[in-house]
Amino acid sequence: MRRLVLIAVPYLWLLALFLVPFAIVLKISLSDTALSIPPYAPTLDFSAGWEGIRSFFAELDFDNFVWLTQDDLYWKAYLSSLSIALVSTAITLLVGYPIAYGMARAPEEWRPTLMMLVILPFWTSFLIRVYAWMGILSSEGFLNQLLLWVGIVDEPLTILNTNTAVYIGIVYTYLPFMILPIYAALDRLDGSLIEAAEDLGCSRLTAFWLVTIPLSRNGIVAGCFLVFIPALGEFVIPSLLGGSGTLMIGKVLWEEFFSNRDWPVASAVAVVLLLILVIPIVLFQRNQQKQAEADQ
């Protein structure tokens, strides 16, 4: 009995916080827009009994998903989001790994302070930190003033309202999510393994490549997913730092909701986005499982 309750809790959690909202979104994605409150039809009418439910299901269709394939805006936005998310995940990894490595190698008594420094930015609202980047990156901003003063550039660089600014924003915002899991993996790493590798004739670099990286693989994978998944659907960063040419699916979703006021198509976009995300998550899960089996 206790076992049953223990299993039921996470499933209830999944049902209440994921499956039910998803079912609602899916239902809206199958309806049509209407000038009413709420702005779509049909709505489920329980008072009409069984007949009402039947006619409700009869009216649902996949037109909105067909529409997504007919306009090139959507797949372009998905592709561009995927590439922005992939590139920024790669940059975050390149920047985050050395930081995590340095933290794990730092003297024991420094580590809590270093950890604190990584977490510290979370004390300020995410929105304010992104706004701060607008001040730094604008043509009259700190960065350009510094570059002009040092003499590296002759005229201000246009960074704000470009994709470069979006990359900077994403890498900056999600860096802690990359550092923390990698640090956790490296922290557990047994130092004597590297000593053994070196005793057996590995150079430090080879030892790092053959021992440290494979043993921190779990941390790397976890970090990459923690960055990639939210970056793919990112809305705030591209809308504040990106230009009108920055095409991301989060922005398209916003436009469908607020400019077109077309909830069904917006829901269809969200459903497809979720499917795109579910694939890497499933791969991740399988990877974790394999790892667990290999460990046993």
Partner 1 sequence: MKSKTLTLTAILALGGAAAFAEEVRVYNWSDYIDEALLEKFEAETGLDLIYDVFDSNEVLETKMLAGGSGYDVVVPSGTFLQRQITAGAFQKLDMSKLPNIVNMWDVVTKRTEQYDPDNAYSINYMWGTTGIGVNVGKVKEVLGEDAPINSLDLVFKPENMEKLAECGVHFLDAPAEMIPMALKYLGEDPDSHDPDVIARAEDVFMPVRPYIQKFHSSEYINALANGDICVAVGWSGDILQARDRAAEADNGVEIAYHAPKEGAQMWFDQMAIPVDAPNPDNAHKFLNFIMDAQNAAAASNYVYYANGNKASQEYLAEDVIGDPAIYPDQETLDNLFTTTPFEPKVQRVVTRLWTKIKSGT
Other CB atoms closer than 10 Å to residue 109's CB: what's the count?
7
Q: How far apart are CA 12 and CA 19, in angstroms?
A: 10
- Residue 61 gets the label, from left (phi > 0), alpha (psi -120 to 50) or beta, of beta
Work out whether 201 is an interface residue with partner 1 (CB under 8 A): no
> Residue from 211, 226, 247, 271 that binds partner 1 (CB under 8 A)?
247
- Are the beta carbons of 175 and 92 closer than 8 angstroms? yes
Distance CA(287)–CA(281), nearest Å, equals: 10
226 CB contacts (<8 Å, ≥6 apart)? 174, 177, 178, 181
Q: Which is nearer to partner 1, 88 or 161 (CB)?
A: 161
Contacts of 45 (CB under 8 A, 6+ apart): 52, 56
Nearer to partner 1, 99 or 249 (CB): 249
Q: Which of residues 50-79 bind partner 1 (CB under 8 A)?
A: 71-73, 76
The reply on whether position 234 binds partner 1 by CB under 8 A is: no
* Residue 45 binds partner 1, judged by CB under 8 A: no
Q: Is 83 one of the binding residues for partner 1 (CB under 8 A)?
A: no
Mark the segment that binds partner 1 (CB under 8 A) among 163-171, 219-227, 239-247, 286-294: 239-247
Which has the closest alpha carbon to 137: 162, 102, 111, 101? 162
- Sequence letter at residue 69: T
The footprint of partner 1 on residues 109-138 (CB under 8 A) is: 127
* Interaction between residue 94 and partner 1 (CB under 8 A): no
Which residue type does 268 have? Answer: A
Task: Yes or no: say if 96 and 224 are a contact pair by the CB < 8 Å rule.
Answer: no
**CB of 77 or CB of 226, closer to partner 1:** 77
Return the number of the residue (198 or 255) whose C-beta is nearest partner 1: 255
Q: Shortest approach of partner 1 to residue 162 CB, angstroms?
A: 13
Site string for partner 1, 158-197 (x = CB under 8 A): ---x------------------------------------
Residue with tokens 């009994």: 49
Applying CB under 8 A, the residues found at the interface with partner 1 are: 33, 35-39, 71-73, 76, 127, 161, 244-247, 252, 255, 257-262
